[in-house]
A = this chain, B = another copy of it.
Amino acid sequence: MSKISQPASSPGVNGISVIHTQAHASGLQQVPQLVPAGSGGGGKAVPPSKQSKKSSPLDRNSDEYRQRRERNNMAVKKSRLKSKQKAQDTLQRVNQLKEENERLEAKIKLLTKELSVLKDLFLEHAHNLADNVQPISTENTSSDNTGQ
């Protein structure tokens, strides 16, 4: 599912942004006037900004502009790639941890069993000794109950 899907007529590829770009460029030259004040949602009033001093409207025709855009596009792609990779890594990490968890649980099971056997042996001996001989030493009778 979900290959990369590289649309043939995709605008995206390197130079082809033309479509969009073109559209933008041709359709609207430079942003007419942004923000009509309204701005529905939680509308903030725009600061009393006009466009008096702006560095420059930056024509969409400008070489500067296109260059900047392209660079940003690259950066964006890179960033997104990185992001995706990270997500994937995280997913992998989950699996890794799950595996380790299983391993640990298995080990615990084993140890528990061993312990149980030994304790039983101990008890047996104790009984024998109690019946015939001296108890090995009573001090250690404490059943640990550490578990949980």
| Chain A residues within CB distance 8 Å of chain B | 8-9, 13-16, 18-19, 22-24, 26-29, 31-32, 34-36, 38-44, 46, 87, 90-91, 93-94, 97-98, 100-101, 104-105, 107-108, 110-112, 114-115, 118-119, 121-122, 125, 133-137, 140, 142, 144, 146
Contacts and interface: CB of A to CB of B under 8 A. Distances in A.
Contact of A27 (B28, B42, B44, B105): B28
Contacts of A144: 114
A116 to B, nearest CB: 10
Closest 4 CB pairs of A and B: A27-B28, A15-B41, A97-B97, A13-B41
Contact of A40 (B8, B14, B46): B14
